[in-house]
Amino acid sequence: MKFDTPAGPNPIDRGRVIGIPHDRIDGAAKVTGSAPYAYERHDAAPNAAYGWMVGSAIAKGRIAAMDLRAAEAAPGVLGIVTHANAGKLGKGSMNTAPLLGGPQVDHYEQAVALVIADTFENARDAAKLVRIDYAAADGRFDLAADQARGVNPGKDADTAAGDFDGGFAKAAVKIDQRYTTPDHSHAMMEPHATTAAWNGDKLTLWTSNQMIAWGVGEVAKTLGIPKDNVRLVSPYIGGGFGSKLFVRADAILAALGAKQVGRPVKVAIARHQIPNNTTHRPATIQRIRIGANKDGVIDAIGHEVWSGDLPGGGPETAAQQTRLLYRGPNRMTAHRLVTLDLPEGNAMRAPGEAVGLLALEIAMDELAEACNVDPVELRIRNDVQYDPEAGPQRPFSSRKLVECLRTGADHFGWAKRDPKPGQVRDGRWMVGMGVAAAFRNNLVQKSGARIGVDAKGRIIVETDMTDIGTGSYTIVAQTAAEMLGVTLEQVTVRLGDSRFPVSAGSGGQWGANSATAGVYAAAMALRAKLAEQAGYPADQALFEDGLVKLANKSQTLASLAGRDGLWAEDSMDYGDLDKRYAQATFGAHFCEVGVDIDTAEVRVRRMGGAFAAGRILNPKSARSQVIGAMTMGVGAALMEALDVDTRFGFFVNHDMAEYMVPVHADIPQQDVLFIDELDDKSSPMKAKGVGELGICGAGAAVANAIYNATGLRLRDYPLTIDKLLKAQAA
């Protein structure tokens, strides 16, 4: 099915199952431990041996020699995979450094061996006996020191409209500031893990991966085998946040290990290995210039971003939102990429916007103050209903930023805010409020599904869509139930298997809208088959209460399905509506913080937000997505940072004791409002993404609240006690 004209009325609009808050249908399996994760596939591979990854002890250089004798002689050891015996490996197109290193080493903790043993403990113990002599080479690990070496990374790195330099030069009010964000680790709950088994030349990987079809292609390419010989199974995923968009070392090493020892092998990357072995969100340096008139109306806006990555890697596209969020005829954005030898940078929840808005939304707060305009009003004044780089001929498909700001401000009690910093005290706390806009692109991706009715009238949906904790199972079931007129309980959903039709997968907040649109397409095909079977015209048949109805006639789904059941498969493909219309999701974050008058400890006292993201398919799981993302925003604002040791070239705080993420005590009441919106240009679901919107801007609202509380303007995240004390002393 092709979606190339705006959606008209359709069966989803009935809203009997879609749009209603539902508990997640996989919840019971998860809380009872009966939903198997990748490392727990005793059912599928009961005799799996255990692999333990050995990571490089240097950041750059070569392996001069490896001595495996002691490890091989250790109790229970079945085999050791290294570059010397793995055979020639290809490199996937989505990972920057080889997933099995050696003899060249590209980054600290890059996998250089897998030790396989009969037990987990034996494998881990023997891994310590692998002796490796390295010839270390000098590397580059310091983004700030090497900022000047940044190059234009190509495709879409820079944009411009009007005359930025001229507009900025003559602006009445100017903001020109530098902001920095550190490297972030995804810190999802489930580590990267895979159980691998070969049957002849057929490989099955029970793994934890957000993008099944990408993964199949990458595994095939890396191992040099046909795609048809690779099966990926990933029904349950304990969080990903982008770290599992791509195949990582666990999958490749498990496959190589299973081949070597002739039995299934499972590998989990240990928690302390994850930050340096896998991907992370790269640090950024950002320069933002805004020129406005004295009322705060923007005339020129410029956003430049520097980030680093391994050779062949890509930039953190943190200027993305600045191209679309605010008005202004004179504009420029630029991304510069610095080659570094730190571990691989890549996507983490809302790549681009998450850190871009941390900077841009402080800059807007600074502009508001410089113009003496309320920060909410400033953003409203600079709203624009079309892509400001392309002009009015490219309007937004839907854009309710102003509604989000107004409604959010009302609910939060924004009017009580004193615009002058440092005025409000509550005991030992200085209290302040901050606001920030939320913005995240809406991406649509082709997505397919297969849907059937069995002899009992039960609906079954199969798609390789993944559920990374987001609630995909439930919204897929809701879509099928709505389309075929049954209850949620009558739907079985099977996800995350490469034997199922290729879906959009989970990433870039495109999953919910795209994958359910794929189910919509398949369901339309099934409706046609059922109507035909019933002898009713497809466009007049009604699907409700488990029946197919025409006027006063009806037949049950079960009877129409017959003994063998009835199946249909289709996918939703997209035309150029996302070219003709800018598509994005919007919101407004509000935050109240307290800052201790003596110690500068920051406590978030309340958060609120209003969000417009098209049709909200399941308000319960959508709210969970938003409050989880707001929590990550608090982390980015106040504590999250991978500390780079620029001598050894690695992230020092590589475990969950030292890499801080918020705990329950850090997170107060979070109020989430969804603004009514249907986006008919996004998909037949009239939905948009919502999984990443909540992180976008959340941290800046915290930073702006700190400023309002204290008068301290910090521009280097995270805003920790030491920085606040220093700013205070300055």
Among the residue ranges 296-304, 375-383, 540-548, 663-671, the one whose residues contact other proteins (CB under 8 A)? 663-671
Among the residue ranges 65-73, 359-367, 581-589, 661-669, the one whose residues contact other proteins (CB under 8 A)? 661-669
Q: How far is the CB of 431 from other proteins (least distance, A)?
A: 16
In the list 26, 106, 125, 592, the residue contacting other proteins (rule: CB under 8 A) is 125
CB atoms within 10 A of CB 154: 11
Among the residue ranges 81-89, 216-224, 393-401, 718-726, the one whose residues contact other proteins (CB under 8 A)? 718-726
Cβ 404 vs Cβ 610: under 8 Å:
yes
- CB burial class (10 A; 0-12, 13-18, 19+) of residue 327? middle
Q: How far is the CB of 30 from other proteins (least distance, A)?
A: 20
304 is catalytic: no
CA-wise closest residue to 475 among 691, 191, 327:
691
665 contacts other proteins (rule: CB under 8 A)? yes
660 contacts other proteins (rule: CB under 8 A)? yes
Q: How far is the CB of 723 from other proteins (least distance, A)?
A: 8
Q: Given the complex with other proteins, which of 93 and 599 has the nearer CB atom?
A: 599
In the list 13, 377, 666, 671, the residue contacting other proteins (rule: CB under 8 A) is 666
In the list 170, 295, 655, 669, the residue contacting other proteins (rule: CB under 8 A) is 655
Residues in the chain: 730
Cβ 389 vs Cβ 303: under 8 Å:
no
Q: How far is the CB of 600 from other proteins (least distance, A)?
A: 7
In the list 653, 671, 678, 713, the residue contacting other proteins (rule: CB under 8 A) is 653
- The per-residue DSSP string of 410-448 comes to HHHTGGG--SSTT-EEETTEEEEEEEEEEEEE-----EE
In the list 72, 165, 383, 601, the residue contacting other proteins (rule: CB under 8 A) is 601
Q: How far is the CB of 604 from other proteins (least distance, A)?
A: 9
Q: Tell me the residue ranges of DSSP E strands in 145-213.
A: 159-161, 173-181, 193-199, 202-207
16 contacts other proteins (rule: CB under 8 A)? no
CB atoms within 10 A of CB 500: 21
In the list 31, 415, 551, 657, the residue contacting other proteins (rule: CB under 8 A) is 657
CA-wise closest residue to 523 among 584, 451, 422:
451
CB atoms within 10 A of CB 653: 16
- CA–CA distance from 5 to each of 511, 600, 676, 681, 715 (Å)? 21, 54, 22, 7, 44
- Find the largest Cα–Cα distance for the chain: 82
Contacts of 501 (CB under 8 A, 6+ apart): 448, 449, 450, 462, 463, 464, 518, 522, 569, 571
Among the residue ranges 9-17, 89-97, 640-648, 685-693, the one whose residues contact other proteins (CB under 8 A)? 640-648
Among the residue ranges 340-348, 464-472, 515-523, 664-672, the one whose residues contact other proteins (CB under 8 A)? 664-672
Contacts of 3 (CB under 8 A, 6+ apart): 444, 517, 572, 573, 574, 575, 577, 683, 684
CA angle 470, 475, 479 (to 5 degrees): 160
Give the whole-angstrom CA distance, residue 149 versus residue 141.
13
426 contacts other proteins (rule: CB under 8 A)? no
Q: What are the residues facing 67 on neighbouring strands?
A: 131
Q: Given the complex with other proteins, which of 13 and 72 has the nearer CB atom?
A: 72
Among the residue ranges 142-150, 592-600, 610-618, 671-679, the one whose residues contact other proteins (CB under 8 A)? 592-600
Q: How far is the CB of 666 from other proteins (least distance, A)?
A: 5
Instruction: Name the 3-class secondary structure at 69.
Output: helix
In the list 600, 636, 637, 727, the residue contacting other proteins (rule: CB under 8 A) is 600
In the list 152, 540, 559, 599, the residue contacting other proteins (rule: CB under 8 A) is 599
Cβ 71 vs Cβ 660: under 8 Å:
no
Contacts of 479 (CB under 8 A, 6+ apart): 12, 18, 516, 519, 520, 523, 617, 685
645 contacts other proteins (rule: CB under 8 A)? yes
Q: Given the complex with other proteins, which of 55 and 240 has the nearer CB atom?
A: 55
In the list 44, 370, 558, 721, the residue contacting other proteins (rule: CB under 8 A) is 721
Q: Given the complex with other proteins, which of 273 and 478 has the nearer CB atom?
A: 273
H-assigned helices in 444-574: 472-484, 511-534, 557-561
643 contacts other proteins (rule: CB under 8 A)? yes
Backbone φ and ψ of 307, nearest 5°: -145, 170
Give the whole-angstrom CA distance, residue 543 versus residue 210.
33
Q: How far is the CB of 79 from other proteins (least distance, A)?
A: 20
Q: How far is the CB of 659 from other proteins (least distance, A)?
A: 10
Mark residues 293-332: x for contact with other proteins by CB under 8 A, - for none: ----------------------------------------
Give the whole-angstrom CA distance, residue 295 versus residue 75.
75
- H or E element: which one contains 622? helix 619-638
Q: How far is the CB of 728 from other proteins (least distance, A)?
A: 9
202 contacts other proteins (rule: CB under 8 A)? no
The site that binds other proteins (CB under 8 A) totals a number of residues, namely 39
Instruction: Extract the tokens encoding 539.
Output: 């466009």
Q: How far is the CB of 476 from other proteins (least distance, A)?
A: 35
Mark residues 372-391: x for contact with other proteins by CB under 8 A, - for none: --------------------
Residue 539: half-sphere exposure toward Cβ, Cα within 13 Å: 1
156 contacts other proteins (rule: CB under 8 A)? no
Instruction: Name the 3-class secondary structure at 62.
Output: strand
- H or E element: which one contains 111? strand 111-117
Give residue for tokens 């959340």.
Answer: 698
57 contacts other proteins (rule: CB under 8 A)? yes
Among the residue ranges 321-329, 461-469, 509-517, 597-605, the one whose residues contact other proteins (CB under 8 A)? 597-605
Q: Given the complex with other proteins, which of 431 and 560 has the nearer CB atom?
A: 431
Give residue for tokens 């398949």.
Answer: 522
Q: Given the complex with other proteins, which of 445 and 720 has the nearer CB atom?
A: 720
639 contacts other proteins (rule: CB under 8 A)? yes
In the list 260, 407, 708, 720, the residue contacting other proteins (rule: CB under 8 A) is 720
Residues 64-123 that bind other proteins (CB under 8 A): 75, 121
Q: How far is the CB of 80 from other proteins (least distance, A)?
A: 18
654 contacts other proteins (rule: CB under 8 A)? yes
Q: How far is the CB of 248 from other proteins (least distance, A)?
A: 21
Instruction: Extract the tokens encoding 671.
Output: 């109020």
Among the residue ranges 2-10, 255-263, 416-424, 595-603, the one whose residues contact other proteins (CB under 8 A)? 595-603
- H or E element: which one contains 82? strand 77-82
272 contacts other proteins (rule: CB under 8 A)? yes
542 contacts other proteins (rule: CB under 8 A)? no
Q: Given the complex with other proteins, which of 127 and 613 has the nearer CB atom?
A: 127
The catalytic site residues sit at: 692
Which residues of the shown chain bind other proteins in the complex (CB under 8 A)? 57, 75, 121, 124-125, 128, 272, 428, 596-601, 603, 638-639, 643, 645, 647-648, 652-655, 657-658, 660, 662-666, 720-722, 725-726, 729
